């Protein structure tokens, strides 16, 4: 009689352990396979992480698995190693890490997609003469004509951003405009011919390709418009030609449709896009296609990092400086750092691309830990535009706009070129207040002011989402309320007053909520149907518009004096990224930054155009304070329904840390800068150390203490390793 076999399973619970289960009578699961089990009184899905391990308790007390869900492992060994590392490094329960790496449909025990029918590719009918087509139909025809080859439906959607359905294509086929063929009958697409490369691009591509199969990390440090994307695509083409898969991470797919289109045009039929905006079924299908190796190139946001890719040959992290790569709740991981670890585990090169690298990345490149590849010129020979600071103490702004900026806009519009105006604050006004008695509209749930959204007549909290009808009169004294501060909606109104008749587009979260609105806005800009574009940081997200002659930046001062560790660095990056939208296509551009502190070191540095020189003052400050990249941080947050309960728990944690911790500074506890958010009060403890090892040991000891002495259920304790923000 065969002895009873046992496995250890990861379950989606906030517990730092695996759970022993007996194998069912019919078969034994393998590592990386999903299983069905009973946990407590509920049915759960788990993933087997260990087999043939002696159970930690009496075997007679161990439950048997209810069943095996998959025909084989769906998470390969290398990916499980990455997930185990993530759980250790970020001090997060292993079960939550592993289960949340799966698509939502698989976490709840849903089946893997069955065999798919032959995929249909769509192409233009030879000799078709399209006429009397609507905008969507015209976009389909244009996309297929540009691609020059037959495309599957999802690739065509990536190119057009339309969210097409098969029925729409079938109707065009019935009109004789399109025809479909099975993918198996179509020869593999060869991709578009490469553009002429600069010597710097050639050298970068050669360096990356030469290290195929190696654990090399490259920093591709190129000025805006220097052709970093073409380097990615040439390196990807090399990997695909050697039957390897490519993973390209982007901060936000919704804000980079041009990149999605460019990659899809270059590798038609080989690209899959994976992000949280996809419907659950589509997300699962894309994930499964990548797991089976049916698509060579996966383009996705940070969660795409955890997709199984059996033939992975290259990882690219585009705009590696972007804060969107850091998850801010649950498993607080940084996708860039885990991408580097995945490259190490699977022996593939990792390319980090940015015109404004983070200080951590820049220092590692200077120390030789990363290979530093530089692109200092643009392929069209143009130079990044000079940056000029406008002193708002001298030129008093009128609703955020000072006279030299308005004059420069008139000159640019007279040249039939576009003006981009950046204000990184959406809404109409920052504050709704009474000038008579001093009343201010505060969020009832947060330590935050309500932002005025005049277009919808609402006051909204941008932290918790609370909103109420916009008041006209003060509830205390009855006087008329005033709108104070500036948002993109108010700036749009002011620009309309100064430039009547000039077509304008506002690009922010409020103007692009509905599906297709972002694509419509970007197409309007690209077609030169808008002379002025006003928006938030969405303007700086890698868009390539050749007729932008002027970029104006409104109100950068809030980032210069913030208590947050990275505020100045991120302000600098935002300004330079926005500035890079101007002066493309061979035409010179200009950048004007409004500030009340033109003598600030960062404002002085902006004028030089030399990013490494600009960040030297920041590096000196960080070095003197032992802050990243010259030290290591972790943040322990406690939040609860009352300030007293949160403070007591945080103080107990801090005392326990001080008693048992060496070589780690324990700072706090103290109320978080935003103390109350969504009716919960937040306290935080900052841990700082000159090296990683004692910091992680302190966190491990603290978590072990919490396991033995769990906090009350109404309190939540979380750990943020390498925090991006201290607020």
What pLDDT sits at residue 241? 94
**Higher pLDDT residue, 600 or 693?**
693
Give residue 460's pLDDT band: very low, low, confident or very high (50, 70, 90).
Answer: very high
Q: Residue 315: what are its φ and ψ, rounded to 5°?
A: -125, 130
What pLDDT sits at residue 190? 47
Does the structure show a pLDDT above 80 at 184? no
State mean pLDDT over 708-714.
88
All CATH 3.40.50.300 domain ranges in the chain, comma separated = 199-375, 387-426+487-622
State mean pLDDT over 296-304.
93
pLDDT > 70 in the chain, percent: 95
Instruction: Report the DSSP beta bridge partners of residue 248.
Output: 299, 316
**Higher pLDDT residue, 226 or 446?**
446
What pLDDT sits at residue 226? 86
Listed range (83-92, 114-123, 362-371, 531-540) with the worst mean pLDDT? 114-123
Give residue 5's pLDDT band: very low, low, confident or very high (50, 70, 90).
Answer: confident
Question: Is the CA virtual torsion 164, 165, 171, 176 positive or negative?
Answer: positive
Give the three-state DSSP class for 220.
strand
DSSP E strand stretches across 153-285: 178-182, 217-222, 245-249, 271-274
Contact call for residues 123 and 151 (beta carbons, < 8 A): yes
Does the structure show a pLDDT above 60 at 545? yes
For the chain, report the end-to-end CA distance as a whole number of angstroms.
Answer: 60
Contact call for residues 658 and 609 (beta carbons, < 8 A): no
Contact call for residues 509 and 487 (beta carbons, < 8 A): no
Give residue 255's pLDDT band: very low, low, confident or very high (50, 70, 90).
Answer: low
What pLDDT sits at residue 585? 67
Q: What is the pLDDT of residues 434-445, one digit of tens each?
A: 988 889 999 999
What pLDDT sits at residue 194? 58
Q: What is the pLDDT of residues 565-574, one digit of tens each?
A: 888 899 899 8
Listed range (158-167, 524-533, 628-637, 691-700) with the worst mean pLDDT? 158-167
All CATH 3.30.70.600 domain ranges in the chain, comma separated = 632-721
Q: What is the pLDDT of residues 581-595, one digit of tens each?
A: 887 766 788 999 999
All CATH 3.40.1440.60 domain ranges in the chain, comma separated = 6-107
Does the structure show a pLDDT above 90 at 620? yes
Give residue 7's pLDDT band: very low, low, confident or very high (50, 70, 90).
Answer: very high
Contact call for residues 68 and 22 (beta carbons, < 8 A): no
Q: Given the structure tokens 């009340």, which residue do they identify? A: 596
Could you tell me the two tokens for 186? 């179509």
Q: Which architecture characterizes domain 199-375 according to CATH?
A: 3-Layer(aba) Sandwich (3.40)
Does the structure show a pLDDT above 60 at 541? yes
In whole angstroms, what is the distance from residue 232 CA to residue 250 CA?
12
Could you tell me the two tokens for 595? 């500030």
What pLDDT sits at residue 393? 92
What CATH number does the domain located at 6-107 have?
A: 3.40.1440.60
What pLDDT sits at residue 540? 79
Listed range (19-23, 171-175, 331-335, 697-701) with the worst mean pLDDT? 171-175
List all residues 6 or more positions away from 124 whose beta carbon is below 8 Å from its beta carbon. 141, 144, 145, 177, 178, 179
Task: Give the length of the chain.
Answer: 727
Does the structure show a pLDDT above 80 at 380? no
Strand 34-39 to 42-51 pairing: antiparallel
State mean pLDDT over 309-336.
96
Q: What is the pLDDT of residues 624-651, one digit of tens each?
A: 999 999 999 999 999 999 999 999 999 9
632-721 topology per CATH: Alpha-Beta Plaits (3.30.70)
Sheet holding 120-124, edge to edge: 151-152, 120-124, 178-182
Give residue 2's pLDDT band: very low, low, confident or very high (50, 70, 90).
Answer: low
Does the structure show a pLDDT above 80 at 116? no
Contact call for residues 349 and 210 (beta carbons, < 8 A): no
Query: What's the count of helices (H) and strands (E) in the chain, helices before strands?
Result: 21, 30
Residue of 144, 149, 120 lying closest to 133 (CA atoms): 144
Give residue 715's pLDDT band: very low, low, confident or very high (50, 70, 90).
Answer: very high
Give residue 191's pLDDT band: very low, low, confident or very high (50, 70, 90).
Answer: low
Give the three-state DSSP class for 685.
strand
Does the structure show a pLDDT above 80 at 161? no
What pLDDT sits at residue 560? 79
Question: Is the CA virtual torsion 663, 669, 670, 676 positive or negative?
Answer: positive
What pLDDT sits at residue 373? 97
Average pLDDT, the chain: 88
In whole angstroms, what is the distance from residue 148 CA to residue 504 CA?
34
Pseudo-torsion of CA 515, 519, 521, 525, nearest 10°?
180
Give residue 187's pLDDT band: very low, low, confident or very high (50, 70, 90).
Answer: very low
What pLDDT sits at residue 519? 74
pLDDT > 90 in the chain, percent: 55
Task: Write out 592-633 in H/E/C secondary structure.
Answer: EEEECCCCCHHHHHHCCCCHHHHCHHHHHHHHHHCCCCCCEE
What pLDDT sits at residue 257? 65
Contact call for residues 669 and 686 (beta carbons, < 8 A): no
In whole angstroms, what is the distance from residue 92 CA to residue 717 CA?
11
Does the structure show a pLDDT above 70 at 120? yes
Q: What is the pLDDT of residues 38-86, one digit of tens each?
A: 998 899 999 999 998 788 778 888 899 999 999 999 999 999 999 999 9
Q: Where are the alpha helices (DSSP H) in 354-414?
A: 359-366, 403-414
Q: What is the DSSP string of 184-207?
A: GGSPPP--PPPPPPPHHHHHHHHH
Contacts by 211-214 with C-beta closer than 8 Å and gap 24+? 211/349, 211/371, 212/238, 212/239, 212/242, 212/244, 212/313, 212/314, 212/348, 212/349, 213/313, 213/347, 213/348, 214/347, 214/348, 214/349
Q: What is the pLDDT of residues 282-298, one digit of tens each?
A: 899 999 999 999 889 99
What pLDDT sits at residue 115? 66
What pLDDT sits at residue 152? 79
In whole angstroms, what is the distance from residue 321 CA to residue 353 CA?
8
What pLDDT sits at residue 352? 98
CATH classification number, 387-426+487-622, choose in 1.10.150.20, 3.40.50.300, 3.30.70.2740, 3.40.605.10: 3.40.50.300
Could you tell me the two tokens for 693? 């090892």
């Amino acid at each position: 009689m065969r002895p009873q076999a046992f496995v250890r399973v990861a379950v989606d619970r906030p517990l730092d352990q695996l759970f022993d289960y007996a194998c069912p009578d019919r078969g034994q699961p393998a590592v990386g396979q999903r299983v069905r089990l009973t946990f407590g009184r509920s049915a759960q899905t788990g993933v087997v992480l260990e087999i043939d391990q002696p159970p930690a308790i009496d075997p007679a007390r161990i439950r048997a698995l209810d069943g095996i869900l998959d025909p084989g492992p769906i998470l390969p060994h290398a990916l499980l190693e990455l997930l185990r590392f993530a759980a250790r490094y970020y001090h997060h329960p292993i079960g939550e890490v592993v289960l949340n790496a799966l698509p939502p449909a698989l976490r709840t025990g849903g089946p893997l997609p069955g065999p798919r029918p032959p995929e249909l590719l769509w192409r233009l009918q030879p000799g078709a003469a399209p006429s009397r087509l609507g905008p969507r139909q015209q976009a389909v025809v244009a996309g297929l004509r540009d691609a020059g080859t037959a495309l599957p439906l999802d690739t065509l959607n990536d190119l057009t951003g339309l969210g097409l359905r098969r029925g729409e294509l079938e109707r065009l086929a019935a009109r004789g405009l399109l025809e479909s063929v099975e993918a198996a009958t179509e020869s593999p697409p060869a991709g578009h011919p490469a553009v002429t490369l600069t010597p710097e691009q050639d050298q970068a591509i050669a360096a990356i390709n030469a290290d195929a199969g190696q654990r090399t990390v490259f920093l591709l440090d190129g000025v805006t418009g220097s052709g970093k994307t073409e380097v990615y695509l040439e390196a990807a083409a090399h990997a695909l030609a050697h039957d390897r898969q490519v993973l390209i991470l982007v901060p936000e797919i919704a804000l980079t449709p041009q990149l999605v289109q460019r990659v899809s045009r270059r590798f038609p039929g080989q690209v899959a896009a994976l992000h949280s905006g996809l419907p659950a079924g589509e997300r699962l299908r894309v994930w499964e296609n990548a797991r089976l190796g049916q698509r060579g190139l996966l383009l996705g946001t940070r969660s795409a990092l955890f997709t199984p890719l059996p033939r992975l040959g290259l990882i690219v992290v585009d705009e590696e400086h972007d804060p969107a790569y850091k998850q801010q709740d649950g498993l607080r991981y940084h996708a860039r750092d885990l991408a580097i670890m995945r490259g190490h585990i699977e022996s593939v090169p990792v390319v980090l691309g940015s015109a404004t690298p983070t200080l951590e990345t820049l220092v590692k490149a200077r120390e030789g830990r990363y290979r530093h590849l530089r692109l200092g010129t643009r392929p069209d020979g143009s130079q990044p535009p000079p940056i000029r600071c406008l002193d708002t103490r001298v030129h008093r702004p009128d609703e955020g706009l000072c006279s030299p900026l308005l004059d420069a806009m008139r000159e640019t519009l007279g040249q039939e070129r576009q003006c981009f105006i950046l204000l990184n604050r959406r809404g109409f006004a920052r504050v709704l207040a009474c000038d008579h008695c001093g009343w201010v509209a505060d969020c009832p749930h947060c330590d935050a002011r309500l932002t005025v959204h005049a277009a919808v007549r609402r006051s909204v909290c941008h932290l918790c989402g609370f909103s109420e009808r916009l008041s006209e009169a003060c509830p205390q004294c009855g006087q008329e309320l005033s709108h104070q501060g500036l948002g993109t909606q108010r700036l749009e109104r002011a620009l309309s007053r100064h430039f009547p008749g000039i077509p304008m587009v506002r690009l922010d979260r409020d103007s692009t909520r509905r599906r297709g609105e972002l694509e419509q806005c970007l197409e309007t800009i690209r077609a030169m149907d808008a002379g002025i574009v006003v928006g938030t940081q969405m303007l700086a997200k890698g868009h390539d518009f050749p007729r932008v002659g002027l970029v104006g930046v409104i109100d950068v001062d809030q980032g210069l004096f913030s208590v947050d560790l990275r505020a100045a660095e991120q302000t600098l990056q935002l300004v330079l990224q926005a500035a890079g939208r101007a002066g493309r296509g061979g035409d010179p551009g200009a950048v004007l930054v409004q500030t009340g502190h033109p003598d600030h070191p960062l404002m002085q540095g902006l004028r030089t155009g030399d990013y490494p020189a600009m960040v030297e003052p920041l590096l000196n400050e960080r070095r003197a304070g032992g802050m990243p990249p010259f030290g290591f941080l972790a943040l322990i947050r406690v939040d609860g329904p009352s300030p007293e309960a949160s403070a007591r728990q945080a103080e107990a944690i801090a005392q326990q840390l001080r008693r048992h911790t060496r070589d780690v500074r324990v700072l706090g506890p103290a109320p978080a800068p935003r103390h109350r958010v969504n009716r919960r009060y937040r306290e935080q403890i900052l841990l700082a150390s000159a090296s990683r090892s004692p910091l992680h040991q302190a966190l491990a000891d603290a978590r072990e203490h919490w396991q033995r002495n769990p906090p009350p259920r109404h309190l939540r304790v979380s750990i943020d390793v390498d925090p991006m923000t201290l607020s």
